[in-house]
Amino acid sequence: MKTTINLFDFQRAFEELRPDNFTNEALEALFEYFDEIENSTGEEMEFDVIAICCEYSEDSFETIAELYNIEINSLESLEEQKQQVIDFLQSEGVFVDSTEYGIVYRQF
């Protein structure tokens, strides 16, 4: 038996189980990302807050650059550095979206 959830339900589930994992902006990006996957594949996904928290993250671009050894220090502006990280994540197929706080991505 499956239940259809909306953005409010999605955000509320995270607030109850893992309130510190993602900003509301990141949760909206993830909800839209998963909705697009379901629409493009025609298959429903199981909603598992803990699994999402284990597989996806929202971090600053500096943190991601450090975690994945992305060279950003040679670039002059912060925008160029952030874009370098986004480009790397896109090339790996794990970029979800960028938020005011940072970048939402699938960890690998």
Rounded distance, CA 91 to CA 87, Å? 6
Between 4 and 62, whose confidence is greater? 62
- What CA–CA distances, in Å, run from 98 to 19, 63, 103? 19, 14, 4
With 90 as the cut, is the pLDDT of residue 9 above it? Answer: yes
Confidence (pLDDT) at 1? 67
pTM value > 0.75 = yes
Per residue in 76-92, pLDDT (tens digit) is 999 999 999 999 999 99
With 80 as the cut, is the pLDDT of residue 2 above it? Answer: no
Which helix or strand (DSSP H or E) is residue 93 part of?
A: none
Per residue in 15-71, pLDDT (tens digit) is 999 999 999 999 999 999 999 999 999 999 999 999 999 999 999 999 999 999 999
